[in-house]
Structure 1
Amino acid sequence: MRVVEFGVLGSVTAWDGTGEPIALKGPRHRAVLARLLVARRRVVPVARLVTDLWPGEPPADAVGTVRTFVAGLRRALEPERARRTPSRLLVTEGPGYALRAEHVDARRFEDTVAAAADLPPAQAVPRLTGALELWRGPAYADFAEEPWARAERSRLTELRLTAVERRAEAQLALGAVADAAAGLDAHVSEHPWREEAWQLLALALYRGGRQADALSVLRRARHLLREHLGVEPGPRLRRTEQDILRHADHLDPGAPDTAAEVWARASASYARMVPLRAGTRLESTAGLMRDLAVTGGGGLEAARRHRAAAVAAAEPLGDPELTARVIGGYDVPAVWTRSDDPAQAETLVATAERTLLLLPPTAHEASRARLLATVALESRGTLPTGTRPLRAAYRAVESARRLGDADLLVFALNGLFMQTFERAGLAARRDGIGAEITEVAARHGLFTYEVLGRLIRLQAHCATGDFTAAERFATAADTLSERHELPLVPVFTTWSRALRTATTEPPHLGESAYREAAKSLDGAGMPGLERGLLPLALLCLQVHHDLPVSADPHTDWGPYEPFVRPLLLLADGQDHEAVGLLASVPSPPGDLLQEALWSLLARAAIQAGDRALIRRAQRALEPARHELAGAASGLLTAGPVSGHLDALAAALASHTS
């Protein structure tokens, strides 16, 4: 069988093994060939060929005519094929035809551009130049008006434009600024809406000693974008103009690539080479969001949003193992036990539990364990009423130990930490979890989890009033956060120092420390931590120092409202309303602040003479007798739990007598 090469980067044509053109007969024959080439080796039903060749009213014998065209193409492409033997190139399959073409200039172009993406500039330039030389004109030039060719023409055109820009980028890296500028000047003239091309042209001119021309190019780009599209230049163009005006060091041709440039090229290559709907993209999204989350602020909020979207996109694909990887890939350390977005967390837990049921028996144990750890982590604050997340946490830890998987183990232990609130007074247990996370993470270079372990231990030692040890863990966490650019860590270490001040210094100094610490929450992207925290800390400070309770009536108490309102009503003389609220007040959620909230309820119950609530508070607080109420959070305290228990016992005794 002779070699046949097909060309679509220009007019549609075919060549034999010697490079001689193959006669393809009339325009309808060429149209059939072009339509099959657009399909890229896939079958095109005869009915589709008829519709595409005659978009209006096809002739009565259209099917027979198509078959005649196909027969003519087979004779032209495979003249040596014996009669009545099946074609090996233009094959009949099912309801239609497929062209099993091995040699197509478009495919060679795509493969070359893809390979050049991973080559150093000195090798990439000739590769890309050779690829661009394959173009004889617009793709499928003789079928530019056909709807069936439109998408493929657009795809190939976009790839060509990108190749021109990647070659210019490589030329700039090699210092070939004149070559880059010449190619880019023609490029932006033909395609004036491509901002990256304008930016590269300005850079080439600047590096060629033509600063005025570079700035003129950027002004021309701005004018075109404003006048014809009604948009302002993007941040990259604006930044380039500013950099040229101040002669930024990184514009120098000898300067190394900046991190931003490396990221831009790598992400562009990924976007070009990875299929748009590939499951790989969803998995990569989970990984990216994991890294984005630890940047804090808007990054954390965006990470949560995009993570939820990735999970929602994965589940309908019907591949539970893919869904499990997308869910479990977001193993972001978490130290705060109240969810920032309870509704989203509930949805994620439900999806994880559905996926667990759908996983086949052959699924890897690590995938199941990551789903279980996710259930435990996202179900934070649900105990003591819920036991399923706690069981999930223990199962995840057992699997991780059995597999000897350090990454999985610290993730599972994080989930277990979130579920160690079935009762008050468990700071020592959490300290043990924090110690194991720290040890495993430090040994395996998992720095974000090493920080988590130290913050957990900070909390545990604050709970027992060991502020010297707590400061040691805070300092270690700060050092790691500075080294690895983790901006959320100082939020917790700053608050732990404010807690120490509030516990060991006069109340006015404690109030100042809390108000200063609250500034660290601005823009941190943690509404589950931020809402109501400062007023709660100040109220606990008053209770701790046995000061009169007071608060601004317009205070936003966030999720703490049900637990502080009765005490505030009593302080305001509204006893009847307070008693009504206390009669139906729920138990505080199982989280880091449960001892503090129980202490506030205990004080209100004593003032209101609510014996039932007094006994509930006694039972809840007794296991934490030797801790500081709320200090397990590392943020605030309402004073020693023992003091609240003594007051509760005295109230019961007085009522009995």
Structure 2
Amino acid sequence: MRIDVLGAVRALHDDGSPVDLGGPRHREVLARLVAAEGRMVTTDTFVHDLWADPPARAVGALRTFVAALRRALEPDRPPRNPPRIIVTEGPGYALCLPREDVDVHRFQDTLARARRNAAVVNDLGTVLAAWRGPAYADVTGSAWAQRERTRLEELRLEGVELRARILLGSGEGADLVAGLGAHVDEHPWREPAWELLARALYRAGRQADALAALRRARSMLVDQLGLDPGAGLQRLETDMLNGSACLEGARTAWTGPGVRLGPRTTVDVARTLALAGGDALVRSRRDRFAAVRAAERTGDLSLTARIIGAYDVPAVWSRADDPEQSRAVVAAAERTLTGLGLDGPADLRARLLATIAVESRSADLSATELKRAQQAARQAEELARDLADPALLVFALNGVFLQSFGSPGLAVARDRTGAEILDLATRHELPNFAVLGRLVRLQSASALGDLESAASHAIAADQLAATAEAPLVSVLTRWFRARAMAARSTEPGGPTAASAAAHYRAAEGALRAAGMPGLHRGLFPLALLGLRLLHDRPAPTDPHLDWGPYRPWTEPLVLLAQGRGEQARAALAAVPESPRDHMQEAMWCLTARAAVRLGERGIAAHAAAVLRGAGAEHAGAASGMLTLGPVARYLAEAEACARAG
């Protein structure tokens, strides 16, 4: 089964033959389910979206449309067997098809991958070519469809321009001229389109035509809108007139002792790549470390400090993606800091200290290393405040945030840090750190169980990420929405636990492709365990689940679910102290739950003592990505166990 909505709404069987969907209302019901992207659409929403003035029997008519669609989409389904494509879910319906079987979902997913990884540019060309016309073209007169058409058209234009940008960046481009010429004719107010056309003409050896295109863009903007061209178009025209080497893709790079820190150095490129995620993130780490080592070989301490401190990429997770490299960067920063001495430039010292704080977030830090990292965070913040440098201060506050997991129950303090990051970044136009501030506040609100505030931060983060070109953000906010659904699955009338699990699974698929190895391993099984605990069910026992770094804390409960009590007791005795990170409350709650189930009063008492300061928070929810439920529940059980006997 395949469903297409990029054009008129249609459904096709596996052999390519069309499905008779029925009349316009039937197609609109199917289209509205596609637009929900697997989420449930309530009956009330359907009635509101399908009729401006709903008739008295609107709900009955909707059920008739759904029944007819089910027969059309699953003609061979035996009687009394539940439908598999349009399913009833709570007070509404949901479409259950793999995303690759729906053209609009396939397009959006490919575009998201292309933002992260230029290597999928051919796939992007394929999905762009599959557009048959405006999205939901035959769903007319519906406000929801018009909103979706507008949104998807903007994404299509972005895709056209992203594909051109990638191809131009890889040395191609002469054959893009015709397509980009048509693109600017159709959308003459899109300055990025004019810039791409001019670059393609220049690449084709048509410098005069490239300059003429820029002058045409200028004329249209000035004469018809009264606006000057943006900085990008102006800079491109200057570069063309001056024959700048950057038009041929040249970049300043590290080549040895004679290197210089130019406007587009390796570390600057690495910082840009890091924000893209995926394979680009791996390349970013490699290029960043190569730049640091090359800088150290020059023997120039100030230059080395600038290179190390220039990688001020916002970091929201308390585990490093590459712990070994993080330790190497910290060591280089400490060597450089020692060389500069206390009399060294305050701004360089602050950046080095902030780098130490940000990079020192591995789970295996010794007590001495942890103390040094926390001191570095405080010193960087003090220096940055004295210098009154907002960009430096938000970087230092990023280190403060990452070093604020010293004990359970500090969500309120982290929220204050996130609020200051957001305020500084907003006032001083630092979009990447504005995204960080939103995510920190999302995590803090999630930890405190304030899902309404967390949801508003998620929406704002997604909006900021769209303009800051930070595709990893949507991966994190998708996890938050799955976490919120899991919490609501315990409420009367809420989604089913199975629906919450499906959303976790979908979020896991996006995370695996995002290039964040310090984050994804073990997260999905832990989310499923949390969901089961919310519903008072035993731990999942699927042997294929990869518990990753969380195995020591989850294993006692898994063994108990398998009926292996003595092995569970031995595993509980071997459980280490929880690392001081986003998941520490969750790990302590798992320890408490296992101790209670096994009657281990001493371990229960210890877990209760550690958790006492986190009684107002939700276990695991500081991640913003999953929840085990209120800490207070586990704390009360552990305290009761400790008092027993």
Is TM > 0.5 for Structure 1 vs Structure 2?
yes
More displaced stretch, 320-329 vs 602-611: 602-611
1:398 aligns with 2:382: yes
Deviations 1:591-627 (A, max 9, x none): 1111111111211122223233212211221111011
Percent identical residues: 45
Deviations 1:33-74 (A, max 9, x none): xxxxxxxxxxxxxxxxxxxxxxxxxxxxxxxxxxxxxxxxxx
Q: Secondary structure at the match of 1:333?
A: coil
C-alpha change, 1:395 and 1:563, in structure 2 (3 Å) is same
TM superposition shift of 1:406: 0.5
1:477 aligns with 2:466: no
Choose which of 259, 264, 270 in structure 2 pairs with 1:279: 259
C-alpha change, 1:546 and 1:265, in structure 2 (3 Å) is farther
Partner of residue 333, structure 1:
314
More displaced stretch, 411-420 vs 472-481: 472-481
Structure 1: how far apart are the matches of 2:584 and 2:613?
12
C-alpha change, 1:384 and 1:619, in structure 2 (3 Å) is farther
TM superposition shift of 1:352: 1.1
Partner of residue 524, structure 2:
534
**Kept in 2: contact 1:279–1:322 (CA 8 A):** no
TM superposition shift of 1:384: 8.6
Q: Which has the larger radius of gyration?
A: 1
TM superposition shift of 1:476: 1.0
1:309 aligns with 2:243: no
Q: Secondary structure at the match of 2:295?
A: helix
Choose which of 399, 404, 408 in structure 2 pairs with 1:415: 399
More displaced stretch, 332-341 vs 521-530: 521-530
Choose which of 468, 472, 478 in structure 1 pairs with 2:452: 468
TM superposition shift of 1:444: 0.5
* One-letter amino acid matched to 1:590: R
1:266 aligns with 2:246: yes
**Kept in 2: contact 1:618–1:648 (CA 8 A):** yes
C-alpha change, 1:284 and 1:596, in structure 2 (3 Å) is same
TM alignment of 1:363-512, pairs within 5 A: 363-382=344-363, 385=367, 386-505=370-489, 506-512=496-502
How large is the RMSD of aligned CA atoms in angstroms? Answer: 2.8
Choose which of 566, 586, 606 in structure 1 pairs with 2:556: 566
**Kept in 2: contact 1:498–1:635 (CA 8 A):** yes
Q: Secondary structure at the match of 1:420?
A: coil
**Kept in 2: contact 1:325–1:367 (CA 8 A):** yes
TM alignment of 1:161-200, pairs within 5 A: none
TM superposition shift of 1:359: 1.0
Structure 1: how far apart are the matches of 2:476 and 2:631?
22
TM superposition shift of 1:584: 2.3
Deviations 1:468-518 (A, max 9, x none): 111111111111111222111111111111111100123222212211222
TM alignment of 1:537-556, pairs within 5 A: 537-556=527-546
Structure 1: how far apart are the matches of 2:297 and 2:600?
52
TM alignment of 1:195-210, pairs within 5 A: none
Structure 1: how far apart are the matches of 2:347 and 2:180?
52
**Kept in 1: contact 2:257–2:294 (CA 8 A):** no
* One-letter amino acid matched to 1:463: A
**Kept in 1: contact 2:251–2:265 (CA 8 A):** no
Structure 2: how far apart are the matches of 1:546 and 1:381?
33
**Kept in 2: contact 1:511–1:538 (CA 8 A):** yes
Deviations 1:572-603 (A, max 9, x none): 12222222222222111111111111111211
Deviations 1:137-172 (A, max 9, x none): xxxxxxxxxxxxxxxxxxxxxxxxxxxxxxxxxxxx
C-alpha change, 1:643 and 1:440, in structure 2 (3 Å) is same
TM alignment of 1:236-251, pairs within 5 A: 239-241=173-175, 250=197
Partner of residue 346, structure 1:
327
TM superposition shift of 1:320: 1.9
* One-letter amino acid matched to 2:483: L
1:524 aligns with 2:532: no
Partner of residue 274, structure 2:
293
C-alpha change, 1:648 and 1:326, in structure 2 (3 Å) is same
C-alpha change, 1:441 and 1:606, in structure 2 (3 Å) is same
Partner of residue 627, structure 1:
617
Structure 2: how far apart are the matches of 1:273 and 1:500?
45
Structure 2: how far apart are the matches of 1:381 and 1:615?
28
Structure 1: how far apart are the matches of 2:170 and 2:506?
37
Structure 2: how far apart are the matches of 1:463 and 1:545?
19
TM superposition shift of 1:542: 0.8
Q: Secondary structure at the match of 1:556?
A: coil
TM superposition shift of 1:268: 4.7
TM superposition shift of 1:284: 2.3
TM superposition shift of 1:255: 3.4
TM superposition shift of 1:363: 2.2
* One-letter amino acid matched to 1:502: A
1:575 aligns with 2:559: no
**Kept in 1: contact 2:442–2:455 (CA 8 A):** yes
Structure 1: how far apart are the matches of 2:612 and 2:513?
38
TM superposition shift of 1:653: 2.6
Choose which of 597, 605, 608 in structure 2 pairs with 1:615: 605
1:585 aligns with 2:575: yes
**Kept in 1: contact 2:602–2:642 (CA 8 A):** no
**Kept in 1: contact 2:253–2:259 (CA 8 A):** no
Structure 1: how far apart are the matches of 2:288 and 2:615?
41
C-alpha change, 1:275 and 1:537, in structure 2 (3 Å) is closer
C-alpha change, 1:638 and 1:486, in structure 2 (3 Å) is same
C-alpha change, 1:625 and 1:245, in structure 2 (3 Å) is closer
* One-letter amino acid matched to 1:394: R
Structure 1: how far apart are the matches of 2:291 and 2:607?
43
C-alpha change, 1:369 and 1:548, in structure 2 (3 Å) is same
Structure 2: how far apart are the matches of 1:571 and 1:508?
19
* One-letter amino acid matched to 2:297: P
C-alpha change, 1:447 and 1:573, in structure 2 (3 Å) is same
C-alpha change, 1:405 and 1:622, in structure 2 (3 Å) is same
TM alignment of 1:203-218, pairs within 5 A: none
TM alignment of 1:18-97, pairs within 5 A: none
TM superposition shift of 1:274: 9.4
More displaced stretch, 413-422 vs 382-391: 382-391
**Kept in 2: contact 1:324–1:352 (CA 8 A):** yes
Deviations 1:333-371 (A, max 9, x none): 011111111111111111111111111454211111111
**Kept in 1: contact 2:169–2:249 (CA 8 A):** no
Structure 2: how far apart are the matches of 1:470 and 1:441?
19
Structure 1: how far apart are the matches of 2:561 and 2:580?
27
Structure 2: how far apart are the matches of 1:239 and 1:396?
45
Partner of residue 149, structure 2:
none
Partner of residue 122, structure 2:
none
* One-letter amino acid matched to 2:407: R
* One-letter amino acid matched to 2:348: S
